[in-house]
Structure 1
């Protein structure tokens, strides 16, 4: 009797497994089967490039309202003109503390972003220049294309140039945050004395 029950249980188990295999083999082969936490891959939020019926223009990616400033963003209200450059030179000053850590980070940032053109010592002899591009002026001996000696450039003038670029130098506003720009300027002031 005990053996008969074991055979029935074994037979029922084999039949259940066979039925499961048969049923699951008929499904789409690309299906992963059970859905666990479907909200992880079937999100309800719209992608930025999708149409969105919630807005009048049908776009998901909306322009921020006029006059708003992103959190943590520091507004630089000096235009990309000669007058804006001169005004920034007179009014803009670094508020970053003159610490050894800031200076060291400024040196690292300068070596990564600026030295390919300006050279490691700021003499305008970087690798880009060695490949035939025109050299930027030396920080300690050169003359600015906007007038005046490079060694006399103020915080605001250097900040304006990093933000907007000048001549062959493009803007580095997307590569360097405002705080990083001030650290680079701290190191450039050191190079102006060499």
Structure 2
């Protein structure tokens, strides 16, 4: 008798659950049904361009507090001036060891970021020059627009130029992190001797 009641209760429960599923699934054809973890696709975070009452200025995208430094940031204390360029030329030296791995990395980075203008051999004959843009000076034969021969450029002068840019060349500080810049400089010194 007790076993019969358990079977009836279990059977009734299964029928009620099945009926609930059938009735709730037939209610609205456009409904996607019950949502499992709706916060995965209905985010509560603010978009950067959205109004946000949590801040005094009402903006979501906030400027970092004054004096903060991003993780991994390497400060370059030479201004974007001719004087800063000359000072960097005398004071700044590469911290990287002259290894085959660093040289190979520099060659690859140069090919990707610099050769479109400077050419693979550093002679100022890159693809953009072939499309009518002004040619940068040759590393081995040209004259710098800031004075002096390109073959005499020091670590600091090249680093300053990569960081800030000069003339038609823009800054590559956002494309090349400081270590990568030093590797490119290592390869540029090789091109200065060609």
Equivalent residue of 1:120, what SS?
Answer: coil
Matched, 1:26 2:30: no
Partner residue of 1:155?
A: 155
Q: Deviations over 1:134-164 (max 9, x none)?
A: 1111101111000000011011110111111
Aligned residues, how many? 186
Structure 2 Cα separation of the partners of residues 30 and 79 of structure 1: 61
Structure 2 Cα separation of the partners of residues 94 and 83 of structure 1: 20
RMSD, aligned CA: 2.3
Equivalent residue of 1:39, what SS?
Answer: helix
Unpaired runs of 5+ residues, structure 2, are 1-6
Residue 178 of structure 1: CA displacement?
1.1
Change (3 A) 1:30 1:162: farther
TM-score, scaled relative to structure 2: 0.86
Matches within 5 A, 1:36-185: 36-185=36-185
TM-score, scaled relative to structure 1: 0.86
Residue 18 of structure 1: CA displacement?
5.9
Residue 36 of structure 1: CA displacement?
2.3
Residue 19 of structure 1: CA displacement?
5.4
Structure 2 Cα separation of the partners of residues 36 and 178 of structure 1: 46
Residue 28 of structure 1: CA displacement?
6.1
Residue 62 of structure 1: CA displacement?
1.1
Unpaired runs of 5+ residues, structure 1, are none
Equivalent residue of 1:69, what SS?
Answer: coil
